Chain A
Amino acid sequence: MSTGTLWAVVLVGSLGCYLLKLAGLSVPAAWVERPWVTRVVEFVPAALLAALVAVQAASSGPDLVVDGRLAGLAVAALALALRAPFIVVLVLAGAAGALVHVLTG
């Protein structure tokens, strides 16, 4: 892909993503206040975040993969259950991931 095409991809993608954000803020309130819309929207983040957790922790491209990321996730879950602060959770998860990488080569 040429530099020019790459720039076009970057700029068109950026503009599109921005317009998607703007559209959300511009939807009329009456539409937003429908019960089923508010209900679905209430649960979209849980579905989304869980899907991202699963994909980021256990996949690499089209393959399902088990590696240090799962160990990091387990450590993170334990830290969250013990009410550790956000930063501590991330540091522990990162350390677990690095440790598994070092141990498994």
Chain B
Amino acid sequence: MPSDARTATLRDAVGLGVAVGLYGIAFGAAAAGAGLDTWQALAMSALMFTGASQFAMIGVLGAGGGAFSAVGSALLLGTRNTVYGVRLAPMLAPRGWLRRAGAAHWVIDETTAMAVAAPDRELGRLAFWVTGATIYLGWNVTTLIGSLGAAALGETAQAALDAVVPAAFLALLWPRLQRSAREPAVQRRVALGGAVVALVLTPFVPAGVQVVLAVVAVALAGRPRTTAAA
């Protein structure tokens, strides 16, 4: 059983890396479209390494936004990685500043989702490091491909990539809504609330901000009731 679980963790991590790699092509292409040269697109994937923040930043730059709003939108979306880090710290327990500094760079949506979904702490750590390494490699390689190949990417391929992105987030969300999850009914209400708040705010706030506001709104709405229940 333990080796089965290990194999499943490795397979899922590599599968996720490949899938996210597709997304990296889209980022590279979009970065080129927003006026970033290949080195700047690569620097973002290597140094920022948090997809939603990267997309938010080039979205603002591509729309003609200023330096302040470009950085601000990336940071706003980056705040959720702080929450993820809080969640992961007890599992990873990175000893010493060097390990912590290294682990921190790979705290993103996908590594957190994979680590948290793992059946125990040991597999959670394995899932974090393997997923992080796979995605880091894939994300940087495909950013390069996307940036160089932006002009060659046809409209139909772009439409396919656009459809893959929300499907990937849905696939990550799915297990949280199933009966086997902790408090699935609350998870479903929270998910529905997050989606509705984000869509309602979309026309009124800068791109990317509605996602952060949706999470904050849902977290605040859930807090008093949950404290009373606890």
Chain B residues with CB below 8 A from A25, complex form: 85-86, 88-89, 92, 94, 100, 103-104, 107
Residues of A within 8 A of B16 (CB): 86
**A residues in contact with B151, CB < 8 Å:** none
Interface centre among B67, B94, B204 (most CB of A within 10 A): B67
User: In the complex, which residues of chain B have a beta carbon less than 8 angstroms from the beta carbon of A68?
Assistant: 159, 162-163
Which of B156, B203, B227 is within 8 Å of A36, CB to CB? B227
Stretch at the interface among B119-127, B133-141, B142-150, B167-175: B167-175
Contact of A51 among B48, B59, B186, B211 (CB under 8 A): B211
Quick check: A9 and B57 within 8 Å, CB to CB?
Answer: yes
Q: How many residues of A contact B (CB 8 A)?
A: 79
B2 at the binding interface (Cβ < 8 Å): no
Contact B164 A72 (CB under 8 A): yes
A24 to B43 alpha-carbon distance, docked (Å): 23
Nearest B residue to A29 by beta-carbon distance?
B90
Complex alpha-carbon distance, A39 and B220, angstroms: 11
Residue of B with least CB distance to A58: B199
- Does A40 lie within 8 Å of B226, measured CB to CB? yes
* A 79-105 binary contact with B (CB < 8 Å = 1; else 0): 010000111011011111110111000
A17, B50: Cβ atoms under 8 Å?
yes
B199 in contact with A55 (CB, 8 Å): yes
A61-84 contacts to B, CB under 8 A, are 61-64, 67-69, 71-73, 75-77, 80
Determine chain B's interface SS by DSSP, over half rule: helix
Selected contact of B78 from candidates A16, A29, A46, CB within 8 Å: A16
On chain B, the residues within 8 Å of A43 by CB distance are: 186-187, 190, 218-219, 222
B67 touches A1 (CB 8 A): yes
Which residues does chain B contribute within 8 Å of A69, judged by CB atoms?
A: 162-163, 165-166
CB-based contact A101/B156 at 8 Å: yes
The interface of chain A, by Cβ under 8 A from chain B, is 1, 3, 5-18, 20-27, 29, 32, 35-37, 39-59, 61-64, 67-69, 71-73, 75-77, 80, 85-87, 89-90, 92-98, 100-102
A-B residue pairs in contact (CB < 8 Å), sample of 18: A10-B43, A11-B47, A21-B107, A44-B80, A47-B193, A47-B215, A48-B109, A48-B214, A49-B169, A51-B197, A64-B203, A75-B167, A87-B15, A89-B167, A90-B168, A93-B164, A96-B163, A98-B163
